[in-house]
Amino acid sequence: MCKVFRAKYMAHLSRALEIPQAVRKALLAKDWVVYCKPPVCGTDKVVEYLGRYVNRIAISNRRIKSVDADGVSFEYKNYRNDGAVEVMYLSGVEFLRRYCMHILPPGYVRIRHYGYLATASKDRLHSIQRQLNRPLSPRRRPKKTVAQICADKGLDYNLCPHCSEGHLHFVKAISYWPRAPGGTYAALRELLSAAI
């Protein structure tokens, strides 16, 4: 099976890309490993298989406290109350509605990449792309400053948004915005009152 998969994969790859002969020989010389499992049979097996993918995506089992005929109670962190753990009770329909909001749209997959596509192997992917004379991916645009973006659009970013005549001047950089309710606005009010 490994030899057949390797041959078919390389045939399709050769049709899509111009692969240098040395790279092609090196790929064909390696023993490929094909991971193959028997198909899932029966509804209980399908539910068990899908459960491994949906488990802990929207909510973990330990957070669900009780399930009855009318609804579900579960723990959640209330960030408006300093991250305190609280219990919420929802009707079964509402719980399922919120749970289904975590289902990905068609065409999106929630499976991690592995092999040369894994995050830890980006250097290897760039090496492969260089050998194939392909552009490095992802294609990153050079970062622009706010001034450059505004200049491209013909805007003056220093212009006062209220009177459109005066210009804004740098006063102070705020390195930390407190998360407490009102803390952000209090710091902003203090900064503006000092500037005026």
Give the model's pLDDT for residue 46. Answer: 73
Q: Is the pLDDT of residue 165 over 50?
A: yes
**Three-state secondary structure call for residue 177:** coil
Instruction: Find out whether 110 and 53 touch, Cβ atoms under 8 Å.
Output: yes
Tokens 């041959």 map to which residue? 7
Cis ω for the linkage preceding 106 (within 30 of 0):
no
Q: How far apart, in Å, do the first and last CA atoms of the chain sit?
A: 76
Q: Is the pLDDT of residue 15 over 70?
A: yes
Give the model's pLDDT for residue 57. Answer: 63
**Three-state secondary structure call for residue 1:** coil
pLDDT band at 194 (very low <50, low <70, confident <90, very high): low
Tell me the average pLDDT across 131-143.
67
**Three-state secondary structure call for residue 114:** coil
pLDDT by residue (tens digit) across 85-131? 999 999 999 998 888 887 777 776 666 666 667 767 777 777 877 78
Task: Name the average pLDDT for the chain.
Answer: 76
| Residue 49 or residue 16, greater confidence | 16
d(CA 96, CA 90): 9
Report the predicted TM-score, pTM, of the whole model to 2 decimal places: 0.32
pLDDT by residue (tens digit) across 55-81? 556 787 888 999 999 999 999 999 888
| Residue 8 or residue 119, greater confidence | 8
